[in-house]
Amino acid sequence: GNYLNNSKYVYVEMNPDVDAGATNPVLLPFGVLGPVRFAGFTMVSGAVEAQTLGSTTAGNNNVNTFVEGGTNIVRAAVSGAIFMNVGNTAFTGTWTFPSVPLRTSSRVGALASPTEAFFGASTNKSNSDRLEKAYVDLVRSLPDGIAEDTSNPSLEYAWAFSLDDLVPTGSADAIWTSGSRVAGTSFSALSGTYSQVLTAGFNRFTCPLVGGFDGLDITEKEPFNNTDMDGANEINSYAFNSIKRAINSCRDPEVVDCDLMVAPGITNTGLTDHMLTVCEQRGDSLAIIDLEGGFIPNTENALGDSSTSNRGSVASTLNELRTRNINTSYGCAYYPWVQVRDQDTGNLFWAPPSIPALGTFSSSQKKTEVWIAPAGFNRGGLSQGAAGIPVINVRDKISKDDRDLLYTANVNPIGFFPGEGIVIFGQKTLQSTRSARDRINVRRMLNYVEKEISRMATRVLFDPNIQITWDRFLGLAEPFLESVKARFGLVDYRLILDTTTTTPDLVDRNAVYAKLYLKPTKSIEFFVIDSIIVSQGASFSEDGI
């Protein structure tokens, strides 16, 4: 389109004639037809089919509900074209379907002026300023296979609103009465011109957004469950395609600025591998992924959370991971799932480990720096609120041996320690090649430094490719690197930009080439203390032992 979209939910596609100014400006929007709903009908005993609304033709049959329920709900067997059975007593019943409310008076609500009233559709109850809680259901899409227009005889417009039906009340107020234009009592009928209602200040109205559908399967408690996405791709699965598109929306670092990426609960290998690839291609982000083989929530199958088949294990998680042969420093993973208390309801639920991991990254960075390891009792204590949410239990209380197995396989364990609580006890990336980049604190430090240095480099683009410009870049970059070193992100560094790196050949190609050597600060992950028993005569003076 021609304009930026300012809404997350609404996109306006303008009629090309209106956009070009080719229409008559007098043809203003003056009203709206209400949402399409099912037409009302009347049931009369003796009639096989539903009758026109208000019909009184009688007959005879048996009264019974057509809805089957439990033992305390009346029910009856019906067959053929019979909608309901009616019998010894003549019966007449009328059904009307609800609709979106309309504002009927400018006096409703504490408005400073009657002209501030928006007639038309209302999210409040009729003649009230209280929210109509059924509104969200009244604007839902009709069932699949039902054409949402009145060409279907079973459908109708809920109402027809027009500013032509606004009626003056003798004061500055107005009311809306259907048919008042025809009755000759409305602003436009009394004045003989449509402009009178606009002159009175009632020049706008509200229409509902109806029938929107987010594409999710409402019969699924978790429409993005991994079971339904098993073996899926973007062609045959809306869920797979939706998540992949969400990941792709963060693909371009010039469009989206981010340093962490997570899709909680998604263990589908096609999607988590794609997330790792996107982060690696960006070169400035770290993906926190959830792994297969761990706990399976009840949204994935018909089994409960307590089922042994859904419990998962360290062994199954590591077996699944080994088959993937992942070797990237732009991703990390944790085990096991944790139990979280909902702070609004107090209910407990199981959450994938990527959720507390993400929260711990945030709290650790807020308290210290991006290059300080988000783990251990100081910054990874989930029982102490490091995740930003109340974590009260783990799905699998892993032993020290299991923690070692997980960490050897580059999976960061979440341990339960008596007296200490629940703690994130590792900070490895998914890089299997041994280097400084196989640790989260180093990877995030590199992402941060490289991104900032790149931003500084843009300050000198298209400037003269001479020593003065190079020195100006060094004047930006070196104080920044010195700051990172002073805050314990680097042990040392060296930045070289001179004629030895940017040769005349590179100058002829309009390029600058610099070399940045970094010596990252490592974190303490193992603390070894030797205890030595000495004889009673040993001296602990400086000259002794």
Per-residue pLDDT tens digits for 289-317: 999 999 999 999 888 888 888 899 999 99
Give the residue-averaged pLDDT of 100-109: 91
Give the residue-averaged pLDDT of 421-426: 96
Give the residue-averaged pLDDT of 444-470: 96
pLDDT score at 465: 95
Tokens 């590591």 belong to residue: 318
Answer whether residue 339 shows pLDDT above 80: yes
Q: What is the residue-averaged pLDDT of the chain?
A: 88
Confidence of residue 481 (pLDDT cuts 50, 70, 90): very high
pLDDT score at 436: 94
What's the burial of 88, exposed, middle or buried (CB within 10 Å: 0-12/13-18/19+)?
exposed
Give the residue-averaged pLDDT of 420-433: 96
Instruction: Report residue 332: phi and psi, to 5°.
Output: -150, 165
CA angle centred on 390, ends 384 and 392, rounded to 5°: 85
Give dist(CA 44, CA 65) in Å, integer: 14
pLDDT score at 55: 56
Q: Is 12 helix (H, G, I), strand (E, B) or coil?
A: coil
- Which residue from 97, 96, 102, 98 is spatially nearest to 177, judged by alpha carbons? 102
For residue 428, the 8-state DSSP code is: B
pLDDT score at 83: 59
Q: Where are the domains of the chain?
A: 16-34+100-206, 238-438, 461-545
Confidence of residue 80 (pLDDT cuts 50, 70, 90): low
Answer whether residue 285 shows pLDDT above 90: yes
Answer whether residue 77 shows pLDDT above 70: no
pLDDT score at 26: 82
**Range in 52-56, 447-451, 530-534 with the lowest mean pLDDT:** 52-56
pLDDT score at 192: 92
Segment 343-388, tens digit of pLDDT: 999 999 999 999 999 999 999 999 999 999 999 999 999 999 999 9
pLDDT score at 64: 44
**Range in 86-90, 115-119, 147-151, 236-240 with the lowest mean pLDDT:** 86-90
pLDDT score at 407: 97
Question: How far apart, in Å, are the Cα atoms of 326 and each of 106, 240, 276, 444?
Answer: 65, 21, 9, 19
Answer whether residue 271 shows pLDDT above 80: yes
